[in-house]
A and B are shown apart, each in its own frame.
Chain A
Amino acid sequence: MIQMEAAELEEVQRAIQGDDSALAELLQRHYAFVYKYLVKVTMDPNVAEETVQDTMIRCMENIHRYDGSSAFSSWMITIATRIYIDKTRRRRREQIWLEAIRNQAVRKLRWQFESRNEEWTDVMDAMTRLTPEHRIAVLLKHYYGYGYDEIGEMLGIPSGTAKSRTAYGLRQLRKELG
């Protein structure tokens, strides 16, 4: 789990009390972290950019709701995840069209990746083929090191569901890479 330092805690408290400068500094400092998280979750830099901006606005509007029980960065990625999941759920009716857009985004990501002389491995391919829900669970557990209780809280689901989503995601990865 990502811990919050005393200096940041003080800044967060000032932001909650209505200090605009403190809030702006916090948001700017965490911008890159949230963006990078969203690139991995969405596998689409454009969607990540769009979602990080929505996240900033949501954080500005809801800073008074932040209770300090988790790190500020965790609170931000919780909001970012929920915004992204809401977006994908709202578009579920346009699934076929969305699938085509997603494939195009993955192709673009791969092209950008390779043009930076980075190797696009089968692991990347397998990660793009997971559903967003399973990819998020795997990333939060095995890349960011959150516990199942924390993931459950972040996604608004029981911790058992978080555990089964992570296990299913891993099983899919094993199947794809096996």
Chain B
Amino acid sequence: MSRSEEQDEQEILMRMQQQMKVLDDAYEPVNIPSLASIKAQVKERKQMKRRANRIEMILFWIVGLFIIAFGVLLFHSAPALYLGIQAISLCAAIAVAVIWSGRRRKETRHE
């Protein structure tokens, strides 16, 4: 970058900073919530989160138990099918991981 271009850039940055300062001063939030209302909201959010976590945990255990019971049943009745499903799942998981990391790398390069 040449010296004049650098000066240009500095001038633009200075003007931008001045304008943004004006914008800062011109816009004050009209309704900042009161301390009491934020506190009430914090409490409400905590309760909601606790409830959601409890439900999530219960669902997790129910689904987990179902899967384990199904796996045990399948292993005893059709071991070959059980092992086949395990192998296919493993391959699918590896394929998804490879595709996902490839896409992520590509996105980072394009940004």
Contacts and interface: CB of A to CB of B under 8 A. Distances in A.
A117 to B, nearest CB: 10
Interface string A39-76: 11000010011001000110011000000000000000
A176 B83 CA distance: 64
A24 B26 contact: no
Contacts of B86: none
Interface string B9-53: 100110111011011101111101111001101110110010000
Q: Which applies to chain A's interface (DSSP): helix, strand, loop or mixed?
A: helix
Given A24-B35, A138-B16, A161-B108, A36 B24 contact: yes
The size class of the interface chain B forms with chain A is 20 to 34
Q: Which applies to chain B's interface (DSSP): helix, strand, loop or mixed?
A: helix
The size class of the interface chain A forms with chain B is 35 or more
B23 A40 contact: yes
Contact of A173 (B12, B29, B45, B111): B12
B19 A124 contact: yes
A61 B45 contact: yes
Given A143-B17, A161-B108, A24 B42 contact: yes
Nearest to B49: A61
Contacts of A56: 33, 38, 41
Nearest to A121: B19
A177 B13 CA distance: 11
Contacts of B24: 36, 39-40
Interface string A133-158: 00000110011000000000000011
Interface string B93-111: 0000000000000001001
Q: What are the 6 closest A-B residue pairs judged by CB atoms, nearest first?
A: A24-B39, A24-B38, A35-B29, A161-B111, A60-B45, A123-B19
